[in-house]
Structure 1
Amino acid sequence: MATISSVGVGTSGLDVKSIITKLVELEKEPLNKLTLQAATVKTKISAYGQIKSLVSTLQDAASKLTSVTGWNGVSTTSSDSKFVSASAVGGTLPTTFSVEVQSLAKAQATASAALLPVGGALGSGTLRLELGKWSVAPASFTPGSGQPVDITISASDKLADVASKINGANAGVTASILTDASGERLLLRSKTTGEDAGFRLSALEDGDIDPLSAGNTDATGLSRLVAGTTVTQAAANANATVNGIAVSSGTNTFASTISGVTFKAEQVTTAPIEITVGKDDSAIQSNIDGFVKAYNAVNQLLQDATKYDAKTGTAGLLQGDATAVALQNSLRNVIQSVTTGGAAFQRLADVGITQQLGGDLAVDTTKLNKALAASPDDVKNLFRSTGGGAADGIAVQLKALTTNLLSNAGFFKSKDDTLQLNLKRNGQDQTRVNERVDAFEKRITQRYNALDTQMSSLNGLNAYIAQQVTAWNKSNG
């Protein structure tokens, strides 16, 4: 910034600094307008971001009404969910069946013999863990399809180190340590339940590769973790009967016993538990309410942004924005459209969904319930018919519109690109104004400084001449 050498031209007392400041402020007037314009553009970018978010929510709501499962909702009840709980996927046929639970699924658990001294080293070697299935009589183990997990144990490792290595090996079992008066024991438990989720622990010492050899089962060294091990809980499936027919599951959840239905054994039953699956219109009503709510949110934001309040003389942020008005009209056109795919119902108003003053939708629940009871398929087709053109359902049309609006080449991307470009150009304009103002301030300051110097010189000359005239007058007096 240029500096002023004195406060007044020719020391006349004229406030040159104030004059220059005011002249610079006048020169900056275009910058104030540009700053206001930039703030407005930023606000519009934010507003369109909010509208985009609401349109995305509307797209999700429309998608639920175009989905088959959204129209095939079912309710599942249990006569006593403390014993057996149940759920069903949409589209499951209405049914009733009884369940009795004889036993719950269990995970295999073992405990080693007591080890002394507590905290002592066990000896070096390898522990091998295998997952598979045990048969009881005669006792035998059938390995599963997975590979055994070998865990290297060093000579200095204590039982706590062994448990830590087992837990870190991702071998399908968890390890913990129990300490009592007789010593410390290694407790192992399968991570999953069921007969096929059993496990076997073997010890391999001194390079011996046969886990059944005498050296690996003699209860010395590392084999102390194997010899004398007790199975505290055998791996077992959950066992139940459905309508008197025996069924089994590796977990307490029976996911494929009844088509479309999943039931879970919570406790062993003392009497049959009745499971009932029936049609559930509440899911449909919830999806329609969600659709209406999502549409109204978009409509209200657009309505407020584009309105003009004649009483206060204030305009909404997007008032006069042709693209915002076009967006609002596009959404309303779909809502007001007539579809031939709904048979008995061609408009939303036919099922109790009407447009109010201002564009919001309202639901007449009584009329909607009546339509769902009398012609559920026609209501469904009103929303999700895919006949093409005029035969497309309302939700199908709205989903297509919102998908296009939200696409990478759609309305919101194009609008954001335009606003961002405007903001960039505004920034460039502000830079140019600032550069011009700086140059002006420097130029005018230099001129006033030069003028100040000249006036000071003239004032000095004037004083000298006055002195000379006075002296001359005295000498001639």
Structure 2
Amino acid sequence: MAITVGSTTPTTGLLTSMGVGSGLDVATLVDKLVAAKKAPQQNQITNQAALANTQLSSLGQIGAALSALQSAMASITDGSAFNARTVTSADTDVLGATASGSPVSGSYKIDVTQLATALKASSGAFADSSAKVGTGTLTLAVDGQSMSLDLTDSNNSLAQVRDAINKASDNPGISATIVTGTDGAHLVLSGTRTGAANGFVVSSSGGDGGLAALDYDAAAGSGNALTVITAAQDAQYSIDGVAGHGAGNSVSGAIDGLTLNLVASGQTTLTVANDPSKGSSALSNLVNTYNSFVGIYQNLTKYDATSGTAGAMIGDATINGINSTLSRLVGGVANGTSLAVLGISLQVDGTLKLDNGKLTQAMSDGGKLASQLFGGDTGLAAQLNGQLDQWVGPNGTLAGRTSSISQQLSALKDQQATLDSRMADLTARYQAQFTALDTLMSKLNSTSSYLQQQFDALNNINKK
């Protein structure tokens, strides 16, 4: 009886290492077995990480929207948005002015009779900047402060005196320069501050007496060697007939909430009026910023029945709570009034609607209605800011949620590393097992080949 054995010719396309004996694609088989083993836990990790990252991104969007709302509240909270004033000078060549507080609306007649100036004086002519001035001690004083220079033949040229004055650490407020004309070089001293009290005094002592060429004291009847170019004097002005003066040409405190900038002698009228535009702009920005938050919230919590898809934060208690609280505050009453008096109303869809006409009318009172609504410890600004502070910031609710999710992602990363390590070990184990099987199959194939040869020989003998 003849026994037929199948061909043992190796199958082409197999790996040159594993599988040569068995004819199996061992590498693919191991990969599929490991993938099947890994899939359930891998899918769990992947899905949890995707959800956590989505929530993290969503919380970032909510946090950014709330931070923007905080910023929009800044000028409303400190009241600057409602206390804005326009300040207009009829002749800016005479006077300029800016609001530095909350000036009362009205007009003022300003008469500038004299500008404040700093003392400027020049020495007599020297041959040139290298000429020696003299030896001894030169003292320069301004309003009770002074400095002294000890000058010798090694450091007493006109240029060296100039440099010593300018570089002195205890300089009381004097600058020096050299002006050279047809008659020679002059040391010119200038006070760095305007006003009669800031005029300087220069005196000399000891040495060869040459430093007396720089002596100057406005109070002295004689002995002044310097020639005055510009005298030190105060600014002089009157406001509605009330006289005033000051050491500088920028005058604060003469009119409550205003800083006057004197430019030249002359008369002008200064007008202060309410500026509702800043308050209106701040409230419009608040409405837009609030509506931006609402849009983000609705997008993150919506459900599309047609597609069956839900927002990343649908049903999230924290986010729903934030939205509900904000809605309650902006739609409620504070200090006996509400946003409605300013033309701002809460809509059915949760957004705010601004009536610009009504807002303009409300702001025509100089911001009083708005200040009443937002101001004080029980005002809308305090209520909103109190909640916003609890939600955003390094210790806020959203920071706590973000930290928790970040820890979850870190744990998932560790789980992924552990899973990868286990699967690597499993791969190595499967490879070892199939390699052993492959070796066994190779031996069996060799035995089968030998037996085939024996049977073929036996068949040939039987045919004879």
Q: TM-score, normalized by length of structure 2?
A: 0.78
Q: Relative to 1, partners in 2 of residues 1:5 and 1:97: Cα closer, same or farther, differing over 3 Å?
A: same
Q: Which residue of 2 aligns with 1:217?
A: 210
Q: Which residue of 2 aligns with 1:192?
A: 193
Q: Relative to 1, partners in 2 of residues 1:449 and 1:199: Cα closer, same or farther, differing over 3 Å?
A: farther
How far is 1:404 from its partner? 2.4
Q: Relative to 1, partners in 2 of residues 1:218 and 1:31: Cα closer, same or farther, differing over 3 Å?
A: same
Q: Which residue of 2 aligns with 1:336?
A: 331
- Aligned partners of 2:166 and 2:457: how far apart in 1? 114
The letter of the residue matching 2:283 is: I
Contact 1:7–1:15 (CA under 8 A) maintained in structure 2? no
Q: Relative to 1, partners in 2 of residues 1:218 and 1:411: Cα closer, same or farther, differing over 3 Å?
A: closer
The letter of the residue matching 1:238 is: A
Show structure 1 runs of 5+ residues with no match: 133-142, 203-210, 387-391
1:304 to 299, 321, 345: 299
Q: Relative to 1, partners in 2 of residues 1:117 and 1:393: Cα closer, same or farther, differing over 3 Å?
A: closer
How far is 1:75 from its partner? 2.9
- Aligned partners of 1:330 and 1:153: how far apart in 2? 80
Q: Which residue of 1 aligns with 2:4?
A: none
Q: In terms of mean alpha carbon deviation, does 431-440 or 151-160 score higher?
A: 151-160
Q: Which residue of 2 aligns with 1:402?
A: 388
2:441 to 444, 455, 474: 455
Q: Which residue of 1 aligns with 2:265?
A: 268
Q: In terms of mean alpha carbon deviation, does 4-13 or 42-51 score higher?
A: 4-13
CA RMSD of aligned residues (A): 4.0
For the pair shown, the structure with the greater C-alpha radius of gyration is: 2
Q: Relative to 1, partners in 2 of residues 1:291 and 1:445: Cα closer, same or farther, differing over 3 Å?
A: same
How far is 1:363 from its partner? 1.5
How far is 1:238 from its partner? 2.0
Q: Which residue of 2 aligns with 1:248?
A: 245
How far is 1:273 from its partner? 0.7
How far is 1:335 from its partner? 1.2
| Counterpart check, 1:423 vs 2:434 | no
Q: In terms of mean alpha carbon deviation, does 211-220 or 446-455 score higher?
A: 211-220
Q: Which residue of 2 aligns with 1:290?
A: 285
Q: Which residue of 2 aligns with 1:355?
A: 346
Show structure 2 runs of 5+ residues with no match: 1-13, 216-223
- Aligned partners of 1:8 and 1:327: how far apart in 2? 61
- Aligned partners of 1:453 and 1:122: how far apart in 2? 110
Deviations 1:337-396 (A, max 9, x none): 234x32xxx43234421123532212212223444558975553333354xxxxx33333
Deviations 1:315-350 (A, max 9, x none): 3332332221221111111112234x32xxx43234
Q: In terms of mean alpha carbon deviation, does 405-414 or 326-335 score higher?
A: 405-414
Contact 1:127–1:153 (CA under 8 A) maintained in structure 2? no
How far is 1:474 from its partner? 7.3
Contact 1:238–1:249 (CA under 8 A) maintained in structure 2? yes
Alignment of 1:99-110 (within 5 A): 99-110=110-121
How far is 1:255 from its partner? 0.4
1:54 to 56, 60, 65: 65
Contact 1:112–1:185 (CA under 8 A) maintained in structure 2? yes
Q: How many residues align?
A: 439
Alignment of 1:11-30 (within 5 A): 11-29=21-39, 30=41
Q: Relative to 1, partners in 2 of residues 1:180 and 1:365: Cα closer, same or farther, differing over 3 Å?
A: same
- Aligned partners of 1:165 and 1:250: how far apart in 2? 27
- Aligned partners of 2:441 and 2:135: how far apart in 1? 104
- Aligned partners of 2:24 and 2:156: how far apart in 1? 94
- Aligned partners of 1:429 and 1:246: how far apart in 2? 82
Q: Which residue of 2 aligns with 1:380?
A: 371
Q: In terms of mean alpha carbon deviation, does 373-382 or 302-311 score higher?
A: 373-382
| Counterpart check, 1:97 vs 2:108 | yes
Q: Which residue of 1 aligns with 2:232?
A: 235
How far is 1:122 from its partner? 8.4
Deviations 1:216-275 (A, max 9, x none): 63479x99xxx9655433333222222233321222111011223221112222xx2111
- Aligned partners of 1:153 and 1:321: how far apart in 2? 84
SS of equivalent residue, structure 1 residue 9:
coil
